[in-house]
Amino acid sequence: MAATPLDVAVATDSPLAAPDAVAVVGPDAADAAGGSDALDATKSTDTAAADTASSTPDLAPAALGELSPQQLKAALSSKDFLLIDVHFPNAGSIAGTDARIAYNDIPALVAFIGSNPDTKVVLTCYSGHMSKTAGDALVTLGYRNISELTGGTSAWTAAGNTLVRLDGGM
């Protein structure tokens, strides 16, 4: 079952949903977790984010960053970030993309990014909607260095750049 941002819970002792700290909540969650007592160890994303914010008053709340196509093109020349295409179905990706992971598969995004809240990540999709959705979910989980390509790959190609297919086509 693919999780949506609303299906993710974060362990109370972690500012992030590391792969071993993710729990799926919903109608079948009690069965999947071995009964309702197993879910008592998790909090909703909102509660965990509030706990993290209150326990780290020196950190400003993270916000989803934005990059223009020109800024991303310049950043790619000395790439020090993960570039993840979150658009589904495949509409083509920017050369240098590290992975294609569906925007609503937050556990897979977390597993790929890792547990460091300062990992630099740029998310892309066709229009910017899916990358904003995924980025907002990751920021809520405590990641502090998440950006999206403003206008998505449609803005990227409108600026004269090309796309590739990670599956070998295009």
Q: Residue 137: name the closest of 111, 105, 114 by CA.
A: 105
User: From CA 62, how far away is CA 143, in angstroms rounded?
Assistant: 7
Domains of the chain: 5-55 (no CATH), 65-158 (3.40.250.10)
Give 168 or 111, the one with higher predicted confidence: 111
Q: So what's the pLDDT on residue 62? A: 80
The C-alpha angle with vertex 114 and arms to 125 and 126, in degrees rounded to 5, equals 0
Residue 73 token pair: 């093109």
Averaged pLDDT for residues 163-167 = 85
Q: pLDDT tens for residues 108-141?
A: 999 999 999 999 999 999 999 999 999 999 999 9
56 phi and psi, to 5 degrees?
A: -130, 70
Q: What mean pLDDT comes out for the span 8-17?
A: 34
Average pLDDT of the residues in 9-38: 34
Does the reported pTM lie above 0.85?
A: no
The pLDDT of residue 166 = 79
Average pLDDT of every residue of the chain: 74
Q: Where are the alpha helices (DSSP H) in the chain?
A: 29-32, 45-55, 69-76, 106-113, 129-140, 152-158
